[in-house]
Chain A
């Protein structure tokens, strides 16, 4: 009799596991650590995330799978292939940078943010996000999605005695739970039609569904997408973004803007390209329209931000992240039309890596400026060059990367790959919509950039750089510059298969 106990490949699951375990350790340690020693928890979490990121290295040599069906070795729930590793790198690396920002934020905000809970929730969410790209069955996928989201609601509302924060958390929670519920309903439809939860099996069996169940399956496909579309902040599931970003502690906004999106689009990719390739005619057009709407709404929203409004810098980044989510969706939609879906997916992955690095960089500068100007208005950035030239140059560079204009070469090439995915798939109209959006986006990014170099009003405020923020800025800056010199580092994912 074959053993009912599965053998577990611990190395393969190390990255999310380490993150989760460190999270638990932090929670317990919090009880025993004296008030003055609390910052140690932060550094422990940073170290944990760094260790989890490093554990990706031994996985590079070959694809590994674990939690496979007993009897059918090819069908597994957890797979560490190239796609998984790249997204896990994005998630864990992004979480590491957001953690560096958090260390300073917690120090500045002492008393109002409970450190032990903060780090526990943060690491739990990161563990869920790291698990998600590796999941290869719908149940694990939903569990991972929930593990990534639920702590995030708490993080958004964590600030004691802040009404805005609680309100944002509630908005985020209600809309997200609705989306998840809809998604679960969709998954149950798909399960009803195919009798399996494993993505590869779904892909096989969905082609031979009983004619009577055809409508059910189609409904299931669409409903399943909703939950993930919500996570990527695609229109019409975007309205929680600006308020949530403003209400949340800034590092959490940074975290959501990158890791939240990574969770959303990697889930979308798994559901669409891996599980339901035969339903490309359903999700392809839906995603294309979604992408066009998302980028347009996001960019127009960002354009409408007034520089003098309170928190306008964060609001602008929030809206622009909605716009960027639209670009991320374009290649996924293109995957439905092109002959080589993996190549299109590679464009999304490459774009996400670029976006992750430069967006976190921009948030790092926003965190720095936010220390001196609590309202964090775009107008507060005027004359930043006079106060701290290097920071201003970095922010200018990050913004131009997001806009996709030289000297932000990597931003430009990331956009070029997305464009070429669309053109290659024959989605000319989407490419044109995106072209218009790129110009709209340029207006607000450049307006902000130009402001950095204007003469300051009054005495320039010197920004003292704390060590963790310096580290985050240096990391993102070096990444951005290195990628601009050698775009192949991320663009190679567009050339080779990921799965």
Chain B
């Protein structure tokens, strides 16, 4: 949109990746004179807002300077040799597939830092909290920006330790077990993934994703591709999470602090699906084709399973936790993303990428809202909240209730909001899968997935009825409606949800050419 010098773009992308890391180190040091603020805690939280804000601005400028006429071309690329012995290069770059994810990550982390500034997390000193948040941001941004398999793995692993500590130190009930489960599952997956990445790298003779994508699997035999896709796929599927490897997610979400949940759902899960699109689809297409029907089958099982689990949680007397419910709904939503990818068609993959972003926005918003609800009522338990008739949020805090209802209907995929397009395109892709994939199988998957959207609508509407509606008893304790800082943190998500829903071209225009290119044989 605006013309920015290529070398400035390079610096911007490098800054986005390294900036938070430097910020994390700075957060651990004592504040310099003049920036001490009212108290050390306030100063460090403000530092977090500043750094994430700067990164967000850099990401937005990067998005503006991005050549939107050629989204399939890697832009702002840096390519420096780092470890010649392993042939690892610091290769950064962004195209239409990764750019939206970069902006989403920067945005969500900034909103989280903003939220924490006004509502400091309960737990040990915020100093470590800010430092971990920034390391987490750096790791996720690096995952989307690097173009080298080993660096991708490094970035993928970088998020583990900060997220572990965020859950284990600032989490709620059952946090220690949840944090362990999170890190063990992901680690087990990612070690297997490393083997797969090494196999691809060694067999193809390069770890460079662009080169691998251009090669399109031609230098890998089918058996190597099959093994590699299985190994890498397991690692990515744990992260996504794909049913039946999802069981770490509900616990982690329930125990994590609000900010942790937002980032976990909004950003971390996308690392898995991004890996499918960026690495497996172009680098090992034959291997992927072998597993695509199974992936799709697991995906639709996930959709149905997630929805049924949510429905069970919404029942009266089930002691359903709202955070747990959103976590299960994530399993369902990510099922659509996986289904889209498994079709191996431009339509499906575009839908998957769109659903990725939409899920990040909407689920991020949902977790913020539930966190806000917990701050006010002290509980996220649906039965405790709703009592006999319902929590009557519309009556007690109309704006909060309205926002919650908005997020819920966005999540169930109401046309006109962000949630709709991704899931529709994913199903559309399944209607006509790529050559070599069984059409009847995918038609079945499509039908089951479509049924899943109905179930999704059912449980989300039940949630709205039980939380937002109901008779408001006169003696019920009053609580504050949406505060101004909450408005500040939530409005961008609401606006983007509407914009993406009404103007999907803004996103699809970016992803489509890149996806076409990727499926046809790599980046130019």
- A interface, CB within 8 angstroms of B: 346, 350, 400, 405-407, 409, 412-413, 416-417, 419-420, 423-424, 428, 431-432, 435-436, 438-439, 442-443, 446, 450, 453, 455, 487-488, 491-495
Known: A407-B161, A416-B198. A439 touches B188 (CB 8 A): yes
Kindly identify which residue among B153, B164, B195 contacts A432, using a CB–CB cutoff of 8 Å. Answer: B195
**Min CB–CB distance A36 → chain B (angstroms):** 42
Establish whether residues A439 and B184, one from each chain, have CB atoms under 8 Å apart when the complex forms: yes
Other-chain contact of B191, A407, A428, A439, A495 (Cβ < 8 Å)? A439
Residues of B within 8 A of A413 (CB): 83, 86, 88
Decide: B195 and A431 in contact? CB cutoff 8 A.
Answer: yes
Residues in chain B near residue A436, CB distance under 8 A: 191
- Write 25 A-B pairs (CB below 8 A) sorted by A numbering: A350-B85, A405-B157, A406-B139, A406-B154, A406-B157, A407-B161, A412-B154, A413-B86, A416-B194, A417-B86, A419-B194, A420-B201, A423-B202, A424-B202, A432-B192, A435-B192, A435-B194, A438-B191, A439-B191, A446-B183, A450-B165, A487-B82, A492-B84, A492-B85, A495-B84
Additional pairs, 13, CB under 8 Å, beyond known A406-B158, A423-B195, A453-B169: A350-B85, A405-B161, A406-B157, A407-B161, A413-B83, A420-B201, A435-B195, A438-B191, A439-B184, A487-B82, A488-B82, A491-B85, A494-B85
Task: Give the distance in Å from the alpha carbon of A406 to the alpha carbon of B159 in the complex.
Answer: 8
Interface pairs A-B: 8 shortest CB-CB: A491-B85, A495-B85, A435-B191, A406-B158, A494-B85, A488-B83, A423-B198, A420-B198
> In this assembly, does B150 line the interface, its C-beta being within 8 Å of a C-beta of chain A?
yes
When the two chains form their complex, are residues A400 and B85 in contact, meaning their CB atoms are under 8 A apart? no
> What is the minimal beta-carbon distance from A463 to any residue of chain B, in angstroms?
20
CB-CB under 8 A for A412 and B157, given A423-B195, A423-B199: yes
Contacts of A424 in B (CB 8 A): 202
Say if the beta carbon of B32 comes within 8 Å of chain A.
Answer: no
Cross-chain contact of B165 among A419, A443, A453, A487 (Cβ < 8 A): A453
Q: Is B211 an interface residue (CB 8 A)?
A: no
- Contact partner, B83, options A400, A407, A438, A491, Cβ 8 Å: A491
Question: What class of interface size applies to chain B in its complex with A?
Answer: 20 to 34
Q: Tell yes or no: B168 within 8 A of A by CB.
A: yes
Q: Which residues of B contact A450 (CB under 8 A)?
A: 164-165, 168
Q: CA of A446 to CA of B86 in the docked complex: distance in angstroms?
A: 27
In the assembly, what is the distance between CA of A492 and CA of B83, in Å? 8
CB neighbours of A412 from chain B (8 A): 154, 157
Asked if B457 is at the interface (CB within 8 A of a chain A CB), the reply is no
Contacts of B192 in A (CB 8 A): 432, 435
A350 to B124, CA, bound (A): 39
Contact between chains at B188 and A406 (CB < 8 Å): no
- Interface presence of B187 (CB below 8 A): yes
Give residues 190-220 of B contacting A (CB, 8 Å). 191-192, 194-195, 198-199, 201-202
The SS class assigned to the A binding surface is: helix
Q: How far is the CB of A395 from chain B (nearest CB, A)?
A: 14
- Chain A residues with CB under 8 Å of B133's CB are none
Residue numbers in A under 8 Å from B168 (CB-CB): 450
A400–B161 contact, CB under 8 A? yes
Interface residues of B in 32-82 (CB under 8 A from A): 82
How far is A446 from B135 in the complex, measured between Cα atoms in Å?
Answer: 18
Complex formed: what's the CA distance from A329 to B93 in Å?
A: 38
B124 touches A455 (CB 8 A): yes
Bound state CA distance, A413 and B151, in angstroms? 10
In the bound assembly, the distance between CA atoms of A319 and B217 in angstroms comes to: 43
Q: Which residues of chain A have C-beta atoms less than 8 A from B184's C-beta?
A: 439, 442-443
Q: Are A442 and B86 in contact (CB under 8 A)?
A: no
C-alpha spacing A400/B158, complex, angstroms = 11
- Bound CA–CA A406/B184 (angstroms): 15
Instruction: Give every chain A residue within 8 A of B124 (Cβ-Cβ).
Output: 455
Cα A406 to Cα B192 with chains together (Å): 17
CB distance from A259 to the nearest CB of B (A): 25
Collect the chain A residues with CB atoms within 8 Å of residue B198's CB: 416, 419-420, 423
In the complex, chain A residues whose CB is within 8 Å of the CB of B165: 450, 453
Assembly CA distance A369 to B202 (angstroms): 44
Give, as a whole number of angstroms, the nearest-CB distance from A330 to chain B.
13
Closest to B188 in A: A439
> For A400, what are the chain B residues with a Cβ–Cβ distance below 8 Å?
161
Known: A405-B161, A442-B187. A420 touches B169 (CB 8 A): no
Give Cα distance in the complex from A453 to B128, angstroms. 10
Please, how many angstroms separate the alpha-carbon atoms of A417 and B191 in the complex? Answer: 13
Measured in the bound complex, the distance between the Cα atoms of B128 and A487 in whole Å is 27
Q: Name the A residues within 8 Å of B84 (CB-CB).
A: 488, 492, 495
Q: Which residue of B lies closest to A389 (CB)?
A: B28
Chain A residue at minimal CB-CB distance from B158: A406
